[in-house]
Structure 1
Amino acid sequence: MNLELSLDLVQSSALAGLLLVLGESARRRIGFLQRFSIPGPVVGGFLFALLLLVLRQTHVATVEFDTTLQEPAMIAFFTTIGLTGSLALVRKGGRLLIVYLLACWTLAVMQNLVGIGLAEALHLDPLLGIMAGAVSLEGGHGAAAAFGPTAESMGADGATAVAIAAATFGLLAAGLLGGPLAGWLMKRYDVAVPAAASADPAGGTDREPEQSDAAGYRQLLPTLVLIGVIMVLGTLLSTWFSDTTGFVLPGYVGAMVVAVVFRNLNDRFGWVRLHPGSVNLVSGLTLGFFLTMAMMSLKIWDLYELALPLVVILAVQVLVLALFVSFVVVPLLGRDYDAVTMAAGMMGHGLGGTPNAMANMDAFNSRFGVRSERAFLVVPLAGAVLIDLVGLPWIVWCMNWVGGG
């Protein structure tokens, strides 16, 4: 018997909420998960994805989800990140942004070279090596779905399935390895945890003593309205930019840019007062929700059905990234708390995507109770937008190179 279940929007969202609560509870109660900074959404969502794999492989049931709310939640989260983006902080992190961006570009180049080299050594079509390189790892499922059919049209049979399966592998590895590696780097480089900032960056430095960070209805309502308006403006900006330039700008990036602009204009002119407790509350809820939904709806069987040679390629990609981050990127960034936090981020978007990077950094910082604001600005800006300035042309060039175009 193979029962086919299809969950609607409300049911899928409720399930994601339940798994998020269970994952966060498990992370707090199980020392292993807390010690290695495994994000709660990864715990709950991944375990459920494993259950779905068992049900499918035993022909008991298959489940389909309505993940409509996943993207709006992601856009809302990145909007809250933008609202913490003061120009003063960006100026302080200027060198870090340049170093981190150069590292991202270097990584994109390396991932394709590693994929092509190993594919040829294992007697596979080198186009499949690119699918298991920057396309699926730095690019994620979106790039996998976009470039897979192109590779197939160039003669690489099954390229789309390979790319999507590799992206699934990367998504899982990103959530499971980022925190443990950052923890190891803290010990290796004897990194000290800085004192928490006296002022919350979302709320300015001149907070009235009687104002509390606790978010009630009176504080939360205007914050939600502001975030909603910025989300609309950000998605319109992204659409206009993509239509005008041909360069794809994700909606969540447009929202983050608009939020950063608003934050700094608001600092200058004082239009509204940003309530830090409300911003943090929305940030935590939206991050947990969309990442849990992404994890619980993973089709792990795409990874399960990968041929052994491709598993070898992906395992080497993980090793190369871990060595690059540990012995090149972190020393260049300064071997401090910001650098180690960004290492967790690079493991996230270097294997899975920017949401993984943010979740890794959030879980890692939560372990020590201090948030690296520079990391939360540099990583999404470099890993979600600026990397494509080199990453996408490099992928196209490599495909034409090995495909004989």
Structure 2
Amino acid sequence: MNIIPINAVLSALLALLTLFFGELIKKNTPLLLKYHIPGPVIGGVLAALVTACLHRLGIELAFELPLKDTLMLMFFAGIGLNANIRQLMKGGKLFVVFLATAVVYIIFQDLIGVSAASFLGLEPKLGLMTGSITLSGGHGTGAAWATMFHDEFGVSNALEIAMACATFGLVIGGIIGAPLGTYLVEKKGLITPKKTHSHAQNQRAEAETHRVADYMASIVLLACCVELSQMIHQLVLTLDYHWLNMIPNFVYALLLGASFSTLFHDSKPIQVAMRQVERTSSLSLSIFLSMALLEVKLWQLFDMAAPLMVILTLQTLFTLFFVTCVTYKVLGQNYDAAVMASGHAGFGLGATPTAMLNMNSMTSFYGASPKAYFIVPLVGAFFIDLSNLLVIEIFLHFLN
């Protein structure tokens, strides 16, 4: 095998080109736009196919990507900064019920993944990759945990499995969510709001001026969270408590971001920085995923394609059952419950943007659901990551 090293600058350029072409293809492909497939995933899959073809020709590219982990931490810090803890408490009883339901869901999701992996003769820990790590967690969480699975457990193709499962979940979550919610509304004869133009309020035009100073302030704030999270992670590793060593460093970035947002919510400099945090962290995730997918080795997945499809099909069927028979019922069996159930299918298999896509499809036809639009993003984009971490740690403890 002829290994060709790619330096850091060229590697970063290729990652940006991967992102650019992915977004370009998405923009010009209605089907990809409809199901909200991420641009970096589209471009990354194409890049992975190119590297697989080169591998067949006896050529392997070795990328140098020193900023990849930093970009990942910036994304998770951004999630935390956009989740003010005081604001999260305003969701009331329905918020707590939905969060508890989502936690029960990910427990069963991991049970199915681990059990099915064991039955199919795979490493049981690998079942977690086909469970809540990639499905409820998404591409970012899957890629973050893949590093630990590779380093700590010797799973050589952890990243490839994570990206494959997360992509599958993203597509299926977007396909089944809105039809499932529509079924609940029509089948149960639910009373729905009249179709109004109030939904446009949820799609506010991005008229805010993109000032360079705001972007710079957001980068500084995210960088502070990243640096502090790395310092805390190193301190934890120095203390050498086994269960603490299992916590990925992105968790500290998430918690630090939420702490900053809560403690300094009224601070003028923080408010200025927060204006562009969401966009900056979203861009960080896109570039991180493009870099991560450049390193995907598709040829290592061929032998596992059949068992992965079996497990993921089981996860999809379970999601349909759980969201219909549990999520919808415990949330009140009304229109808001149906909208939140469609959102749960979206982030339970895919990601929070998928959940929002599902809910948009419903509310644009049946009418607005303010409760769903407030609660689902908070659970799907913040609390589920913390809950998911706890559940995964418990499963790893018992599997070890």
The separation in 1 between residues aligned to 2:126 and 2:270, in whole angstroms, is 47
| 1:132–1:314 Cα contact (<8 Å) kept | no
Q: CA RMSD in A?
A: 3.8
Q: How many residues were matched structurally?
A: 364
Match of 1:145 among 146, 150, 172: 150
Structure 2 partner of 1:392: 393
| 2:82–2:278 Cα contact (<8 Å) kept | no
The residue type paired with residue 24 of structure 1 is E
Q: Aligned with 1:63: secondary structure?
A: strand
Offset at 1:303?
Answer: 1.4
Q: Aligned with 1:62: secondary structure?
A: strand
| 1:42–1:175 Cα contact (<8 Å) kept | no
| 1:49–1:299 Cα contact (<8 Å) kept | yes
| 1:36–1:179 Cα contact (<8 Å) kept | yes
Residues 304-336 of structure 1, C-alpha deviations (whole Å, 9 max, x = no match): 122745653444344434543455345545535
Match of 2:128 among 107, 118, 134: 134
Q: Aligned with 2:3: secondary structure?
A: strand
Residues 237-261 of structure 1, C-alpha deviations (whole Å, 9 max, x = no match): 3444566564243333222222222
The separation in 2 between residues aligned to 1:313 and 1:221, in whole angstroms, is 44
The separation in 2 between residues aligned to 1:164 and 1:263, in whole angstroms, is 31
2:345 aligned with 1:346: no
| 1:42–1:292 Cα contact (<8 Å) kept | yes
Q: Say if 1:116 and 1:88 are closer, same or farther in 2 by CA, change over 3 A.
A: closer
The residue type paired with residue 262 of structure 2 is N
Q: Which moved more, 1:67-76 or 1:131-140?
A: 131-140
Structure 2 partner of 1:182: 177
Structure 1 partner of 2:337: 335
Q: Which moved more, 1:245-254 or 1:332-341?
A: 332-341
Offset at 1:34?
Answer: 0.9
Q: Say if 1:189 and 1:129 are closer, same or farther in 2 by CA, change over 3 A.
A: farther
Structure 2 partner of 1:237: 232
Match of 1:169 among 164, 167, 173: 164
Q: Aligned with 1:4: secondary structure?
A: strand
Structure 2 partner of 1:205: none
Q: Aligned with 1:273: secondary structure?
A: helix
| 1:164–1:302 Cα contact (<8 Å) kept | no
Q: Say if 1:114 and 1:222 are closer, same or farther in 2 by CA, change over 3 A.
A: closer
The separation in 1 between residues aligned to 2:355 and 2:233, in whole angstroms, is 25
Q: State, as a whole percentage, how many aligned pairs show the same letter.
A: 23
Structure 1 partner of 2:367: none
Q: Which moved more, 1:315-324 or 1:32-41?
A: 315-324
Structure 1 partner of 2:136: none
Q: Which moved more, 1:240-249 or 1:287-296?
A: 240-249
Structure 2 partner of 1:283: 281
| 1:136–1:144 Cα contact (<8 Å) kept | no
Match of 1:215 among 202, 210, 215: 210
> Structure 1 segments of 4 or more deviating over 6 A?
362-371
Alignment of 1:193-208 (within 5 A): 194-196=199-201
Structure 1 partner of 2:27: 28
The separation in 2 between residues aligned to 1:102 and 1:4, in whole angstroms, is 48
The separation in 2 between residues aligned to 1:65 and 1:343, in whole angstroms, is 36
The residue type paired with residue 45 of structure 1 is G
The separation in 2 between residues aligned to 1:180 and 1:198, in whole angstroms, is 21
Offset at 1:109?
Answer: 4.2
The separation in 2 between residues aligned to 1:68 and 1:162, in whole angstroms, is 20
Residues 141-166 of structure 1, C-alpha deviations (whole Å, 9 max, x = no match): 245336645xxxxxxxxxx3586664
Instruction: Flag structure 1 segments of 5+ consecutive residues without an equivalent.
Output: 150-159, 201-211, 349-356, 401-405
Q: Aligned with 1:181: secondary structure?
A: helix
| 2:81–2:260 Cα contact (<8 Å) kept | yes
Offset at 1:90?
Answer: 0.3
The separation in 2 between residues aligned to 1:105 and 1:239, in whole angstroms, is 32
Structure 2 partner of 1:157: none
Q: Aligned with 2:132: secondary structure?
A: coil
The separation in 2 between residues aligned to 1:198 and 1:172, in whole angstroms, is 25
| 1:168–1:300 Cα contact (<8 Å) kept | no
Offset at 1:3?
Answer: 4.9
Give me the TM-score of the superposition, normalised by structure 2: 0.75
2:298 aligned with 1:300: yes
The residue type paired with residue 229 of structure 2 is G
Residues 7-59 of structure 1, C-alpha deviations (whole Å, 9 max, x = no match): 22111111111111111122222111111111111111112212222332x32
| 2:343–2:376 Cα contact (<8 Å) kept | yes
Alignment of 1:3-42 (within 5 A): 3-42=2-41
Structure 1 partner of 2:188: none
Give me the TM-score of the superposition, normalised by structure 1: 0.74
